Amino acid sequence: MIDAGEGRTTRRANRGAALREILGSALTRTAVYLMATEVLGGLLGLVFWAAAARLVPSDAEIGLGAILIAGGTLLAISSTLGFNISLVRFLPERTGSPVRLINSSVTIGSAVAIVLALAFGLGVGRWFPGLGFLATDPGLLALFAFFAAVWTISLLFDAAFIGLGQARYVLVRAAVYNTLKIPLPALVAAALGAPFALLFAWGFALLVSDIATVLVLLPRSVPGYRLRPTIDRAGVSSMARYSLANHATNLLGVVPGLVFPLLVAAVLGPPSAGYFYIAWVLANFLFIIPGSVFTSVLAEGSRWRPGLRGTAVDGLFLSLAILVPALAGVVLAGAWLLQALKPTFLAATSLLNVLAASSFFVAINSLYIAVLRVERRMRGVVGLYAGTTVVALALAGPLMLGAGLVGAGLAFAIAQGAGAGYAAVAMIREGLLRRAV
């Protein structure tokens, strides 16, 4: 018979062994690399915006630069056509040629990016006159389209490394472009103008990172890799339905971070768009935690389907363990950091607190979406994304008119909270929160 003391010792030993197993797993390694990537990007992004605030005294011009960057990112995500998620999902299975799958995604995505960027550049001046120069300057318009393609390729390369189990190279790429982009606005502002100089810094830095990827990093991960225009019809066809469903979720998922600045600018003016963007950058330090962990769940769950339930539960515990202290840090230090960046950025303090609090809802939604993606239940993924996005957009305008800038955060939080309630009930009903034995 085992006495109570021995029982407690055994339980502690079992919990310790389980914790060591989680921390030493491929799930955690991939998640740590992705979180480190996002944290590095966020920290250097703050340095970038701090430098921009001193270089560009006008909040309106900073807001226009933020609109260009948000627009460029939105175009890049739109142009992936969902192949970024498909690369994470299908490369672990190694059922096709990795070279042809990667190059096909890059070929299609970059072509789409150029077309969308030209259309955006020719039309954006109608809504934001300060960006009308894109339509009147063919050189800047061509450069904008080129950077959109570079941006798209960068997203696809990151996804390929995750799918190949080489997430450390995502961190290397992030270190290159986030460091390089910081001094560039000061070097080109006189020639290109302040708003476009901010975009140029992002695009040129990503270009350097992509070149290093093609010449060094991908050949190390995929022997014999060469970047060539390719369309592998069989490989693309096998991913098409899954990719298109994920494309819809990609577009829906980026609305708060990329479309909201445009909406805020239209309702409250370009300076408020800049304030929203800065608050979003800070809140993103929290959102990247579940995002990184559950991207790892997607990759590792695809690599070993029988262990999906245990992987998902491990991911939830890991996400919450990091998220709780991180949320406290953002709430306590947020106002100080905003003021340190630029005193006028204090206008975003309440917005930042609301966005930060919504990170727990984001975690629940991200977990359920990762599981659904592994199981290819894309109708549920699209439904969850569509529901939260439609609610957020429907509430944003009225709430901003009534509550100002913080209304945008409330719209996001309410939408994510509603989605998290649905996701939690669904996971409990399906038994997904019980670790498999």
Give me the residue spans of the domains in the chain. 56-253, 271-437
Q: What string of H, E and C letters represents the secondary structure of 308-321?
A: HHHHHHHHHHHHHH
Cβ 72 vs Cβ 148: under 8 Å: yes
Whether the predicted model's global pTM rises above the 0.85 cut? no
**Distance from the Cα of residue 202 to its chain's centroid:** 15
Q: What is the DSSP letter of 435?
A: P
Residue 136 and residue 140: Cα distance in Å, rounded?
Answer: 9
Nearest 5 degrees, angle CA 315-CA 321-CA 324? 125
| pLDDT computed for residue 96 by the predictor | 63
Ranges in the chain, pLDDT < 70: 1-28, 31, 93-96, 190-191, 193, 234-243, 245-246, 250, 254-258, 296, 298-308, 433-437
Q: pLDDT digits over 233-266, tens only? A: 766 666 666 667 667 776 777 666 667 877 888 8
- The rounded mean pLDDT for the chain is 80
| pLDDT computed for residue 13 by the predictor | 47
Residue 382 and residue 380: Cα distance in Å, rounded?
Answer: 6
The CA-based diameter of the chain, rounded to the nearest angstrom, is 85
| % residues pLDDT > 70 (the chain) | 82
Helix pair angle (349-357, 406-430), 10° resolution: 0
- 368, two tokens: 């359920």
| pLDDT computed for residue 208 by the predictor | 92
Helix pair angle (184-192, 26-55), 10° resolution: 50
- 137, two tokens: 């300057």
Reference 76, options 145, 175, 163; nearest CA is: 145
DSSP string, 384-396: HHHHHHHHHHHHH
Cβ 159 vs Cβ 87: under 8 Å: yes
- 213, two tokens: 């990827």
Amino acid at 330: V
Q: pLDDT digits over 183-217, tens only? A: 888 777 766 767 788 888 888 999 999 999 999 99
